Structure 1
Amino acid sequence: MGVRTAVDAVLAAPSVVDAMRAADDLAFEAAREPGARTIRILERLTAGDDEVAAIAATHALAGMLDEEASRVLVRLVGDRREFLREHAAWALGSGLPRHEAVGRLLGMVVRGGFAGMLAQRTLEQWSGFAPAPLVAGVEGGLLGIGEAAARSRLVETLGLVRDPLATAPLVRLASDASEEESVRVAAIAALGQRHDAAAVASTLESIAGDDGYLGAVARLGLVDLAATGPIRRRDRAGLTVAQLFLHADIDPGLRSAGAGDNGGIATLLVRLGDALVRDPESAVDRVVTLSRGSIEGALDDLVELEATDRGHEYGRIPLLSDPVPSADAWPLRVTARRGIRRILRAAGGVDVLHLRMADVGSLAAADVARELGTPAVFTLAPDPHAVIDSLDRSHRISRGDFGRNDVVEHFWFRTRLVHRLAAGAAHTVLFPRPRLEDDLRRLVGIDPAVDPEHRTVVPEGIDTESIDRAIARVEAHRRGADAGPALDELRELVSGLDPDRRGRPLILSVGRLHRVKGVATLVEAWASSPVASGTNLLIVGGDLASPSDDEREQLDRIDALVPAAERAARGLLLPGHRPNGVVAEWLAATRLGIPGSVASGGVYACASLKEEFGIALLEAMAAGLLVVAPDGGGPATYIDDGRTGLLTATWDVGRLSSALGEAVTAARAERDDVRAEQSRAMVRERFTVQRMARVLGGVYGAVAKDEAGLLDRAGGLR
């Protein structure tokens, strides 16, 4: 097509998503036509007002493998625009080391954040070619920087240099009692990764004798130091599958569901892991679920993983920092990678690793999978592609401000990570969508007709038995039985409302307090609608005691709409997150009611900007609730619009408000359980976690069989 035509395609693309896809063609053509003219064109684009085109040109320069193009990228690392500095730092990693850029990249590492992660990643890629300048740069930076967090980031970067040049300064920093603890932690953790083990073992052993935090980090370091060479795989008949969600404190009891990032995925992994190992037809007899956790918990998990070889086990990854929202967790890449590698090795290797998110956990896990030779399954969804498209169509982002939004949301990196994970996966799993094939082509740029035998559509599933038990408890209470703790708590919440608000139906919503989940939008739609006078709104989710930045943003918006002092009079209930079992009873109570407290005929509302599938929606339908949901993504494949629920543009406050009113009117008019039982039957027949486990078990078995066949064929070629 030529560079000029490729540039025109980027500039003339009808949407941001289309322009991002056209950027791939521009990079390809620039690599085919390197030279002064191409560099001039691309450099001109980087200086323009079209921020999508500027980013596209930056990555096209990286693909040219040209000396002058590399010099342009080095200049862009110092650009006044933050988004271009980030993309230039990322793009430089595609080429050979540029010594003149090391200082600027280390400066980005010092400042931290997502840009620091990108810079550190580029420096790591360069370190094998030119370790000396990087070691010298870090040591020089440490001489002039006193702030502990910045020093620890530099030390972590030093630990990525595998050359023995880095060992002596790491030993010195790990042993220096005058250093801040976080700096010593970074050095100790890095020592566990050294190839020259004999040079660092005594240092780690001496620190490991300490009973405090440093001693625990050193004990993990010693585990890492001993875990070298091929994995000693256990001789076992069944498959071991690992699944990962880094941003949750996942536990079998689901006590933290709805707090921070502990959303539907955390619930799903617990239920799914249990179902996989219980299915008598499944080839999987061992599941290892990985999530964040404490160092002490991680050490305990390693002992457990080495001692057992079946069942659903958990492996905690200590991130050596306070928990942060997933959007801010990219700087934890190195720590996450070490923790994932440690768990998979302790488990004796796994047959399949299932990745689901375009986040730092999947970024780190994909690196480990390649290192250990583990085949990966990836759940492919048009995320963030669909979000970008939705924001573009609603005029909340544009080509002129995309880069500045990208600094916050990291859209470009996440879309490229989705492509990378899909390309490297042995099998991709897809969610049902109304226009699945069209969305894959238009939003993601993947043709589903290519290699269809390695793609499977797998609906998510829920534990309907727990919902059935909850309904039975509510029905028993309505007949006079004791309420039990969950219903007593709901009754107590409602009793805190003004007397005239009690005894009304509920609009219930369950999920994380995050802007993508649209919680504040739901409050606005409800509060501005006539339906607010006849209903109370119950929002379950969020850590109200210690809210994350994302939770705080939503809480502030909610307070601006319905101030805390007015909640009792206006009927807004915000109890925070609750365990999964409690939520199940509240779902049942929303439909059936609680005598003297909650009227029957309530509804469930999901106001997500995007919902790839919707675990909480399925749980609500399993309880027989009429639901309001987004009109795109997964919900449109299982909600019978106008019958079992209402599909609407949830990002539009007016349309969401109208849908709430229609749903409440319809639910209150019901005189029998016919519609409720239709919803419940649909979930039981199509969306149980047992059914999901059966389909995925077949996928995992096929991947393991393909992998074994590939190794056999490769062995026959020797």
Structure 2
Amino acid sequence: MNEFIQFRNQVYDTERNDIYPLQFLDAYIHKSETMNSDERRWKGQIRTIKQLEQEKKLGEKEIDELLSFLGEHPSIDRLIVDAVLKLFNDETKGIVENKTKELLVKQQYDSQQLYHVLDICIECGLDVLSDDDIFFMLQKYKRDAEIMSVLLDYMGRFNRQGFKEHLYELLTFDYPDSIKIQAINAMRNLYSMEAVDQSFVKKNVINENNNVFFEGFMDFLHNGFKFENPGTSILQSMFYGDFEDSGKGNNGGLAVLLKGLGEEIAKDNSVSYVFTLTITQDLTKPFISFYGAKHVLIRLPIYLDQAVRDKFIKRELFIKRQIAHFLKLANLKPDVFHIRFLDNASKAVAHLCKELNRKLVFTLTPDPHRNMFDGAGQLKELDFNELIEKLNKIKIGDELIDISDGIVGIGNAEVKTELAVYFPQFKNEHVNGKINMIGEGIQIEQLMNAEDLAIPSNRLMEWVETNNDFFEKPVILNVGRLSVLKGQVELLKAWSNSRLSETHNLLLIGGDLERPNQEEEAVIDFFKDHVHRHPEFKGRFLHQGAMSNADIRMLEKTIIQQDFDDPHIYICSSVKEEFGIAILEAMSIGFLTLGPLKGGVKSYMRNGENGFLIDTSNWETIAKDAEKYLYDSKIDKDEVKKIQAAGQKTIDEHFSIKKISAEFVSMYLSVKGEEDHEI
């Protein structure tokens, strides 16, 4: 029996899912022999927090205890703040106000405590800072971007004027552009846009890298936006990357999906606009971009500490408030909010949606649930920080299931059955009635007609010509962001240690070569070292940085037109893939496609009929399964062509972006209450 699944069912059978993280910690720690004294203390703090929530008790002693916990662990900080807000009411308001004042007057807090105390004050409407307090913080924490950010938020929330010279001073510091944007916005809110010295801003903030963004943002502050179309408006959040940066950093296939899906949904006459919201740190692109007449990408400049492992957990409430502020300034009132991740940014959007009394749609995936146990079904030995991080996401998923108006599962009925294994809430008829199983899709029509394809970029043409010799052999292709979970390192090992390297060259596309993050850099370094140690593969293995989706699809079309005895192959090496946009695109072009057993690919890939499912746990399993299907099964060229054709047919018939978007529109309108709409 799977220990994790068994425990999930036991907890939900007691109808006490609010204490799930604590109960799991109890069970996990009982069998763990690796916890140190700090971790046991943190576990005790979690117990205290959860008991207070259950008892609905928040007196002076309890507030003192909670505030004393702040600053020790980011996940526990989140639980503390959430608990205070959950228990805050008219009866406890005076206690919370007095205790936060006491802490602030002593000035013995560290920056982590201060951040969360200010967060609580903003959320609870408690203006507890004197002018001297604000002046002191502006001076002492002037180099702390997060404190400056939440302090600016506080000053705006309570209309604390009298610090204009300090706001101008902030613009001269070496802060990220997103902090300077916030300072300009604060001046606009506290005084007026006319009171902002434009020449000072131009001198100290605007440069050749960010001038396009600032031009659009300043125009927005002056004039606002006017989005006036009849129909239902949709807001979908995408907090990982940008439409223009697919394949870089943590920006994967979701950007490709949401760009195409947003464009297609917006074509429906019942839809007024689709707004895709992302968070940007690097202000090199426009503040707002249109993709089609009614699909709008908005890049909100919200500061996040990129050095932090989970950059959303601390900034959850700030993200919620900044999105709310933007929607108010833009006079946007989306009818339906759609979120797609188990993280604190998505939780922020969900709570904002409910505060605005709008409808919430939530795409649910069993991640990180699948990674809580090993192959034998036993609980994995995780270090405390990783365990707490995963439990936070599981807790968010459970909360979002409860408050959402509609739930999307990615795939078919088979995937829904798998979801039900990880989410025992599905046994509840109310929850089960919310669920809609919808696949992902691609722009098939664009692929099928050469005249509709984008003209190859000069960059692509030059790159293909430079590497012309590489394409004189069948190609194994893999496209995606560079990540351990995406398995490119394991694929390179599998290729170079198997018969795959005898018959095919290997092409990996993805990653930011100019400014790689830490994980990308590690993968790129492995590629270079591997070729250095195996010079026989030089010229036969190519790694190309992220390309635009149009260039990738044109490259795939170019590759597939070259006929060899062996087929061109697309291998998705991800440890698991929820669905796989890149897989759909490769199948639709005609690649013989190999996808991972784990995840949602099996919902549309039938082994040996339209592709092959392989174990992608490590390079040995990739090599073993690939050899088994490609060589040992002795399938001939005609059989391969039948499989390739079947793959194309599967995508043509079931995964057109038009078909998928129609299903989404129908669901959105149903959730909003327009059940009679017909597509």
With the shorter chain as reference, the TM-score category is: 0.7 to 0.9
- Tell me: CA distance 1:569–1:359, structure 2 relative to 1, closer, same or farther (3 Å): same
Code of the aligned partner of 1:276? I
Q: How many Å apart are 1:684 and its aligned residue?
A: 0.8
Q: How many Å apart are 1:622 and its aligned residue?
A: 1.1
Aligned to 2:626: 660
Asked whether 1:283 is paired with 2:270, we answer yes
* Deviations, residues 499-524 of structure 1 (Å, cap 9, x unaligned): xxx73322111111022212222222
1-structure distance, mates of 2:231, 2:158? 44
DSSP 3-state at the match of 1:578:
coil
Aligned pair partner of 2:555 in 586, 589, 605? 586
Percent identity between the two aligned chains: 18
2-structure distance, mates of 1:503, 1:156? 55
Aligned pair partner of 2:201 in 184, 200, 210? 210
- Tell me: CA distance 1:56–1:261, structure 2 relative to 1, closer, same or farther (3 Å): same
DSSP 3-state at the match of 1:609:
coil
Asked whether 1:688 is paired with 2:662, we answer no
Q: How many Å apart are 1:587 and its aligned residue?
A: 2.9
Code of the aligned partner of 2:612? L
1-structure distance, mates of 2:585, 2:308? 25
- Tell me: CA distance 1:464–1:555, structure 2 relative to 1, closer, same or farther (3 Å): same
* Deviations, residues 576-619 of structure 1 (Å, cap 9, x unaligned): 1112122223334554436xxx7750211112122111111111
Which of 96-105 and 120-129 deviates more?
A: 96-105
- Tell me: CA distance 1:18–1:394, structure 2 relative to 1, closer, same or farther (3 Å): closer
Contact 2:478 / 2:509 at 8 angstroms: preserved in 1? yes
Aligned to 1:266: 255
Contact 2:457 / 2:551 at 8 angstroms: preserved in 1? no
Code of the aligned partner of 1:690? K
The count of corresponding residues between Structure 1 and Structure 2 is 639
Aligned pair partner of 2:569 in 599, 603, 610? 603
* Deviations, residues 316-355 of structure 1 (Å, cap 9, x unaligned): 2223579889954556653675257525753642222222
Aligned pair partner of 1:369 in 353, 361, 371? 353
Aligned to 1:354: 338
1-structure distance, mates of 2:6, 2:172? 47
Q: How many Å apart are 1:536 and its aligned residue?
A: 1.6
1-structure distance, mates of 2:355, 2:374? 37
Aligned pair partner of 1:645 in 611, 619, 623? 611
Aligned to 1:424: 403
**TM-score normalised by length of structure 1:** 0.74
2-structure distance, mates of 1:421, 1:29? 12
Aligned to 1:613: 579
- Tell me: CA distance 1:381–1:632, structure 2 relative to 1, closer, same or farther (3 Å): same
Contact 1:51 / 1:402 at 8 angstroms: preserved in 2? no
2-structure distance, mates of 1:545, 1:685? 39
DSSP 3-state at the match of 2:408:
strand
Q: How many Å apart are 1:454 and its aligned residue?
A: 2.8
Q: How many Å apart are 1:242 and its aligned residue?
A: 2.4
Q: What does 1:12-91 align with in structure 2 at a 5 Å threshold?
A: 14-15=3-4, 18=7, 22=11, 57=47, 59-63=49-53, 64-66=55-57, 67=59, 72-77=65-70
- Tell me: CA distance 1:699–1:247, structure 2 relative to 1, closer, same or farther (3 Å): same
Which of 217-226 and 382-391 deviates more?
A: 217-226
DSSP 3-state at the match of 1:690:
helix
What 5-or-longer segments of structure 1 have no aligned partner? 1-11, 32-40, 474-481, 710-718
1-structure distance, mates of 2:584, 2:540? 25
- Tell me: CA distance 1:24–1:453, structure 2 relative to 1, closer, same or farther (3 Å): closer
DSSP 3-state at the match of 2:363:
strand
- Tell me: CA distance 1:344–1:284, structure 2 relative to 1, closer, same or farther (3 Å): farther
Asked whether 1:381 is paired with 2:368, we answer no
What 5-or-longer segments of structure 2 have no aligned partner? 21-29, 89-95, 207-212
Q: How many Å apart are 1:556 and its aligned residue?
A: 3.3
Aligned pair partner of 1:670 in 633, 637, 652? 637
Aligned pair partner of 2:463 in 467, 489, 499? 489
Which of 581-590 and 14-23 deviates more?
A: 14-23
- Tell me: CA distance 1:349–1:690, structure 2 relative to 1, closer, same or farther (3 Å): same
Aligned pair partner of 2:384 in 403, 406, 414? 403
- Tell me: CA distance 1:232–1:414, structure 2 relative to 1, closer, same or farther (3 Å): same
Aligned to 1:537: 506
Asked whether 1:460 is paired with 2:440, we answer yes
- Tell me: CA distance 1:186–1:591, structure 2 relative to 1, closer, same or farther (3 Å): closer
1-structure distance, mates of 2:304, 2:76? 28
* Deviations, residues 88-119 of structure 1 (Å, cap 9, x unaligned): 566555455454995799999846xxxx9xx8
Q: How many Å apart are 1:121 and its aligned residue?
A: 5.3
- Tell me: CA distance 1:329–1:526, structure 2 relative to 1, closer, same or farther (3 Å): farther
* Deviations, residues 453-500 of structure 1 (Å, cap 9, x unaligned): 432111111111233246999xxxxxxxx99975763353353x6xxx
* Deviations, residues 407-447 of structure 1 (Å, cap 9, x unaligned): 7xx32322222233333322111112675444434423421
Aligned to 1:245: 238
Aligned to 2:521: 552
